[in-house]
Amino acid sequence: MIKSLSLLTRKPGMTHEQFVRHWLEVHGPLALKVPGIRRYVQSHILEERTRPDIPSSDVEIDGVAELWYDDRESMMRALATPEAKALYADGALFIGRIKSYTTEEKEIIPLRR
């Protein structure tokens, strides 16, 4: 399983609340239409946690997007679809900055119920 992990910052002039509303109500449904995405999670920032023993970075973000794919090839196929192009076009309307990573998870503690 491959995951795309993106740190998102809202466009200048947009409030955090406006960013979250658009991301959830407009952008989220567009992601549902992209073939090949196995899972999509939006993590909305509630507050920043700091530690006294480790300095904080200067990165300010409004949310974290996580998209799961079966493998890298599935991800590349999904990103080439018209649905993904529509998703990216919408992202340009409310995302001011983005930093994305392709990751492979190593589960240490499994999901507990």
Residue 108 lies in a domain: no
Residue 33 lies in a domain: yes
CATH number at residue 43: 3.30.70.100
Model pLDDT, residue 48: 82
Work out the pLDDT band at 111, boundaries 50, 70, 90: confident
Q: How many domains does the chain have?
A: 1
Find the range with the poorest average confidence among 34-38, 53-57, 67-71: 53-57
Residue 53 lies in a domain: no
Residue 15 lies in a domain: yes
Q: Are 66 and 4 in contact (CB under 8 A)?
A: yes
Q: State yes or no: pLDDT of 63 exceeds 90.
A: yes
Share of the chain above pLDDT 70, in %: 100
CA dihedral (63, 28, 111, 107) positive or negative: negative
Work out the pLDDT band at 56, boundaries 50, 70, 90: confident
Compute the half-sphere exposure of residue 109: CA atoms within 13 Å on the CB side of its CA: 2
Residue 6: domain span = 2-47+60-103
Average pLDDT over residues 37-66: 90
Q: State yes or no: pLDDT of 58 exceeds 90.
A: no
**To 5 degrees, how large is the angle CA 76–CA 9–CA 14?**
125
Residue 112 lies in a domain: no
Residue 52 lies in a domain: no
